Amino acid sequence: MDVGLYVRDYIDDPTRPLYEQIEEAAEIFRQARGMGFTTLYMPQHFIAYPTIWPQPMQVLSRLAPDTDGLRLMTGILLLTYHNPVDIAEQTATLDQISNGRFTLGVGLGYVEKELEAFGTNRAERVSRLEESIALMKELWTGEEVNHEGRHWTVRGGRLGITPVQKPHPPIWLAAQSRGAVRRAAAIADACLLGPQPNWEDIDQLSTMYWEAIAEQPGKTGYLAANRSISIARDRETAVFQAIAAGEAKKGLYSNFNMQESSTVDFGLGGARELADWTVVGSPQDCAETIVRSHRENGLEYIGFGCLNLPNEKTARLEYLQLISEELLPLLP
């Protein structure tokens, strides 16, 4: 299995200069190249004070020279907020900077004040996303594009830079509802399940995804998930360390008003057992959870958002070494 690391875990301290955190993260990720990890992924949010969300394209561009051998992914970029011509150009540029190591992870977005700030709304999200992906694929061919759509118009447009990867970098679509997994099967290269749903809901969403793939002769699917992890040498320590962090994440997403009627239940209104929605415990415990999802759901990639990541650089490297030496060898 491919295993990714959540970049924001390493640069989310509002009390330290951001450039210091980014440089420290670059040093950590230089060493992570040899530990068995395959991907770095960076999310996107806006106007989210007091939390900080550095923009993904810029951060990944900075990390590119130090992370040769690792894929760089937006996990995820809120495509419905953006002009797809801009994102097509940025994607081509970052794919060139990284010499073909970029994956474009995209999603709808859900925070009301973000949607309003970008001049859109929840009702338009699906049509904007679908049209944006279609237009970007046209632009990445390098040919002249004439597009008259509901949201975007391009007349005689042609990119000066095209991606290294052909026909374009992989597009992974975030999904936490039936409609989203079917959309991922139809227009994206992978379905990326988020960290909030319970594992039981992951079972249902993955089944829906593979059913949608089966309806398309010749289509090859790829199932991925970003999940929260708390790992320690013993289960008790991992659970203890994760409880406070898990509550903080629940509060963050409650403030974002993430829960929607169309998505699976994120458990924001009440307590959930950690094992119901995270990867938690000893390396053996964590491996059992991941291997079950690989075997039963067809999961081929998992990204780790670390609930109990230490604060100090040396301790962070030791934490990654624990995953590298005692968890990763147990995975398929």
Q: Would you state the pLDDT for residue 259?
A: 42
Q: Would you state the pLDDT for residue 263?
A: 54
Q: Would you state the pLDDT for residue 246?
A: 64
Per-residue tokens: 205 = 């969403």
CB 225 within 8 A of CB 302: yes
* pLDDT over threshold 60, residue 319: yes
* pLDDT over threshold 70, residue 256: no
Q: Would you state the pLDDT for residue 35?
A: 97
Strand duo 2-6 + 171-175: pairing: unpaired
What's the pLDDT tens digit per position in 199-243?
Answer: 999 999 999 999 999 999 999 999 999 999 999 999 999 999 998
What's the pLDDT tens digit per position in 75-124?
Answer: 999 999 999 999 999 999 999 999 999 999 999 999 999 999 999 999 99
Q: Would you state the pLDDT for residue 188?
A: 98
CA distances from 284 to 4, 184, 280, 331 (A): 19, 32, 10, 10
Per-residue tokens: 254 = 């409650």
Alpha carbon of residue 250 to chain centroid? 18
SS3 135: helix
In whole angstroms, what is the distance from residue 63 CA to residue 57 CA? 10
* DSSP state string for 203-265: HHHHHHHHHHHHTSTT----EEEEEEEEE-SSHHHHHHHHHHHHHHHHHHHHHTT---TTBPP
Mean pLDDT of 249-272: 53
Q: Which residues, in sequence order, are bridge partners of residue 77?
A: 106
Helices (H), the chain: 18-32, 56-63, 84-97, 112-117, 125-140, 178-187, 199-214, 235-255, 274-277, 283-297, 313-322
Closest CA to 94 of 169, 23, 40: 169
What's the pLDDT tens digit per position in 172-193?
Answer: 999 999 999 999 999 999 999 9
Q: Would you state the pLDDT for residue 268?
A: 44
What's the pLDDT tens digit per position in 157-176?
Answer: 999 999 999 999 999 999 99
Q: Would you state the pLDDT for residue 250?
A: 55
Q: Would you state the pLDDT for residue 322?
A: 98
What's the pLDDT tens digit per position in 13-72?
Answer: 999 999 999 999 999 999 999 999 999 999 999 999 999 999 999 999 999 999 999 999
Residue-range domains of the chain with CATH: 2-330 (3.20.20.30)
Strand duo 153-157 + 145-148: pairing: antiparallel
Mean pLDDT of 254-264: 50
The dihedrals phi and psi of 245, each to the nearest 5 degrees, come to -65, -40
Contacts of 79 (CB under 8 A, 6+ apart): 87, 106, 107, 108, 109, 128, 129, 132, 133
* pLDDT over threshold 80, residue 252: no
What's the pLDDT tens digit per position in 262-299?
Answer: 555 545 445 688 999 999 999 999 999 999 999 999 99
Percent of the chain with pLDDT over 90: 90
Tell me how crowded residue 176 is: count the other CB atoms within 10 A of its CB.
26
